[in-house]
Structure 1
Amino acid sequence: MVSRDAIRKSLAQENTDYRGKEIIFPPVAKVNNAPVIIEAKIFRREVGRVNMYSGSSCEIIYEHCFEKLNPTIKATKVDLKTPLVGFSRERSWSIGEVPLETTIGDAPLSRIETLNFVIVRSDSSHNMLLGRTAMQRMGIVVSTIHGAIKLHTKKGIIIVLSADETDEGTKRARKILSTNEERVLSCVNTEEKIIVNDKYLDQTVTIEKQLPEHFKKELQNLLKSNTDVFAWTHADMTGIPRTIMVEEKPFNMEHKLNEYSHVKPIK
C-alpha cells in the first residue's frame, strides 16, 4: 500500500484559488480498498471514527456518541417516524433525529454545514456515518483508492486523509463494517410507483425502490402481462354480491345519494 506521506505529498499540490479548480486525484502504485475513516468536528468538538459511507442516503450518529454531546445539543433531538431499510429489506426504527453543526478541516481551510443526523442504537465502533446527503451538501469527493477525501472551501481545496491504519479502533471498525453499516441504507423514498396499464396512467402499482433493476423490470413485465386480474374500473368489479343476509333476511348493500333530480351535482 502506498505510504501516507507519499499520498499527502501528491495531494498537497493545490492552488489556494478554488474558483474553477477541478478536484483531481493523482495515480497511485497500489490500491487502497479500506473504508475512509476521518475526523470531524461537531459544534467545534473533535469526533473521531467518522465513516464516509456512500451506501447510506442519510447521516448517522450512533447512540454512544450522541450521549456524549452537550445536554443543550441533545435537547434539540426530535422523534423520527421514518424507518431505516437494510440490504435484505429489513426495517428498523431510529431513536430520533438531531441537527448538528459539522465541520470538516481546520480553519481557514474548512467547511461547515448543519446536517440532520439519525440517531441509531448499535454496537458499531464508529461514532458517526456521513452518507450521500452530506457528501452532496459539502461537495465531498471520496477516494478509497487514496484513502482520502477532498472538498472545496472559500480558501481553497482541502485534503483529509483517512485515519492511521495502526489505530486499533479503525481496525475494528473495518472488521465489522460489513455487518453493521450495511444495515443502514436509506431513510427516505423506499417505494416506487410504476405503470402497468397504459390505458390507466393514473392507476399505479407500488414496489420497493431499491430492488435490483433487472428484478424490477421482470416484476413490471409480469404485472403487465397479467393486467386482466386487476379491476381498473367499477365495471371490472364483477362477482361482488350486492346484498348480504342479516338474520336470514337479505340486506341491500348498494348506497345512493338522496338528491333532487333538478339539482346539478357539484364536485
Structure 2
Amino acid sequence: MYVDGGSSSEILYEHCFNRFRPEVRNQMVPATTPLVGFSGEIIWPLGQISLLVKIGDEEHSTSARMNFMVVRSPSPYNGIIGRPGVRKIRAIPSTAHGMLKFPVVGGIVTLRSSRVIPLECSMVSEPGMPQPVINQASEEKIQVAIHPEYPEQTVAIGSTLTEEGRKELCGLLRRHLDVFAWKPSDMTGVPRNVAEHRLNIREGCLPVRQKKRGQAPERNKAICEEVEKLVDAGIMKEVHYHSWLSNPVMVKKTR
C-alpha cells in the first residue's frame, strides 16, 4: 500500500480487489462520485467498499475501517491510503525518510518502507529495537542498439526480461523507429508554446553579459560541431543583438 498525504480518498486497484474472496467482493456498492486527478482528468470508480484495515504485526498494530474506491488502472501498488485513512489511524508519514509512525497501546510503532524489486511488504518495528539492514535490489540494464544507422545510440532494457521478451521488445522498437529523434533535424516542428526557453526575470533588471571564456581545443571543437548541427537543423540561428549573453557549459553525456 502507498501512503499518500495528497490523496483525498482511499484507492483500491482492481487487480488487488479481484483477489478477495467472493463474499468480500460482493460487499462493493456503486460509487456516486468520480475521482478527479491532479491535471483534471476524471475517472469513474468501479464501486466502493468498506474494509477493516490492520496496520502492523501481531503484537503491535492498529486497525480502522476505511472506505476504498475500486479503480481500474495499472499500478505497482495494491492501493493508496489517503488523508482520511491517515487521520483514522492517527499516523504521521514522512516521505523523505520513507517512514510511518502511529500510536498503539503501549507505545509508538514505526513502519519503514523498503523499495526492493519486486515490491515487498513493509516491516514494522518497535522503537528501541535493532533494525535489520535491507539490501536495496537494483535491476541491471542492458544497452541495445535498435537503429542500424546509429549504433552508438542505445536504449536500456531490463535484464530480468526473458530472451523471448527481449526479442519482442526490440522488434517493437525497431518497427517504430520513426517516433524517436535520431538526429537534430528530427526535433524540428515542435511548437514554441510546447518547448521554449524564457528568462524569468524581474522587470527593470539590467542584462548580464559574461566575458568570453576560452575553451580547450577538444571542447571548442565539440561545441562548434554541436552548434553547427543545431544551426543546420534550424533549431538555432545566429543573431547579433544579444541583450543577455552567457558562456556555453560543457556537460558530459551519461547513459
TM-score normalised by length of structure 1: 0.44
Relative to its length, the structure with more strand (as a share) is 1
The higher relative CO (CA closer than 8 Å, separation ≥ 6) is in: 1
